[in-house]
Each structure stands twice: as C-alpha cells, then as structure tokens.
Structure 1
Amino acid sequence: MSMLVEENSAKHRYEILVDDALAGFTAYLPRGEVLVFTHTEVDPNFQNMGVGSALMRGTLDQVRAQGQRVVPQCPFMAAFIERHPEYADLVTSPA
C-alpha cells in the first residue's frame, strides 16, 4: 500500500492518496506564512489503517520544509501534535 501526501493549493488542502485513490485531506486557510488548519477528513474505507497519522506527518513535514507555521484549529491535528511533540515548534497563535 503506497501513501502519498501532496498539497492541493487550488483547494487549500493537503491530500493523501492511497494507491492513487484520494483517502483523506486536511483543509487550511492561508494567512501568509501561517496556515490555519480547520478540518481533517479520512474516507471511512481507509480508517484504522494509519492514514490519518500519515496525512498529519506528511502535511507537517511539508509545512516545516516550506518554513511555514500552523494554527491547529482542527481537533484531529491538535491531538496529533500533542501526541507528537516533535511538531510542537510549528504551532503558532492566530495573527
């Protein structure tokens, strides 16, 4: 099973593809260098397979690589960052 996380900037979201099928996404509002994440969804067919965690990891790694920060308004992302403090440095407060 291959998983790929990529940004769909036209839709303001990061998407995860599992074997080329859209399995989930996390949506954001762009605020300059800060991305306010508002909502995460994983297709029910792909739940309990680590897709949500892979989506968070891939998204946050790409945000870090681009020198951006996040405001995790989405409870799923907030909980993920709480469980994975290596991403805590990406969190900022809304401007």
Structure 2
Amino acid sequence: MTDITVTRDDAESRYEIRSDDTLAGYAEFELRPGAIRFIHTEIDPAFQGQGLAGILAEKALTDAAASGDAIVPLCPYIAKYLTTHEITGAEIRWPKRPGTAPAEA
C-alpha cells in the first residue's frame, strides 16, 4: 500500500506531497504579512492521474487556513480547487484581475 504524505517545507516555501518517500509534487507559496499566496502547483508526470493534486491542495489549504493567514490563490489549480471545495475556516482573498475596474456601489 502506498503511503501518501503532505508536509510544509518553509525552507523551500512549498507544501510537498510524497508517495512513499518519493517527491510526487508540490504547491509553492509566498508568505506576506497576514497572507499566504499560492503561486504554483505541480505534480510529477509519473504521478499524474492518481488524485494527488487534489490531496495536496486540500491538505495545504487546510493547513494554511489553520494558521489564520488569508489564502490568496494566484495559482490557477488552487483557485479552481477553491471554487469547488469548502476549506473550513479559510479566509480567501481573491486576486484582482488586471485591467478590471472596481465594482461601483
């Protein structure tokens, strides 16, 4: 049976997912005061199609929400995940799209 683990590596600024002891993918982040910006998610091609990206996103976002920092989904995969999954306790700060005007009251 495969052992899947997700850990936060602050030295590398990323959450890593491992299949047994092999690095299968990661979600890179940048820390800002009061926020964690998810910037890129990648799964090694050898591990694609196994649902690991979803596991990585769920565990990373749950951990980030528990820290109390707002989540800023700059990574397209993380943004899509957040539109289809509830992360308990998460404060989401959706990035403003370039070239869009603020909504008028």
Same fold (TM over 0.5): yes
Q: What's the counterpart of residue 81 of structure 2?
A: 80
3-state SS of 1:79 partner: helix
TM-score by length of 2: 0.82
3-state SS of 1:49 partner: coil
Question: Are 2:58 and 1:67 aligned?
Answer: no
Q: Which structure 2 residues correspond to residues 1-95 of structure 1 after superposition, within 5 A?
A: 1-84=2-85, 86-87=86-87, 89-93=90-94
User: Which has the higher Rg, Structure 1 or Structure 2?
Assistant: 2
Identity %: 35
Give the deviation of 1:20 after TM superposition.
1.1
1: CA distance between counterparts of 2:9 and 2:79? 21
Give the deviation of 1:33 after TM superposition.
2.3
By percentage of residues, which structure has more helix?
Answer: 1
How large is the RMSD of aligned CA atoms in angstroms? Answer: 1.5
3-state SS of 2:87 partner: helix
Give the deviation of 1:93 after TM superposition.
4.5
Count of matched residue pairs: 93
> Structure 1: any 5+ residue segments left out of the alignment?
none
3-state SS of 1:26 partner: strand
Query: AA paired with 1:74?
Result: C
